[in-house]
Amino acid sequence: MVMADGPRHLQRGPVRVGFYDIEGTLGKGNFAVVKLGRHRITKTEVAIKIIDKSQLDAVNLEKIYREVQIMKLLDHPHIIKLY
């Protein structure tokens, strides 16, 4: 018998990336999407940017490199530090 929600073995739990559960989409761009993540232990909310590398041409790849370089310069308690 199949219930209205579908078979139990086909239902999926939250998508996980490392220690984070992906809970929804915060925003979208030309070649990236930003998802809301929640740490499984601390319940801290974070933004996770996922870049679709298959959509990157030379110009957009340069934009990504520039963004990473700028992120490396930032020093703020609410922005992850890139090295």
Feature table: binding site for ATP: 49
- Residues in the annotated binding site: 49
Q: Could you tell me if 48 and 37 are in contact, meaning their C-beta atoms sit under 8 angstroms apart?
A: yes
DSSP per residue, 17-61: ETTEEEEEEEEE-SSEEEEEEEETTT--EEEEEEE-GGG--HHHH
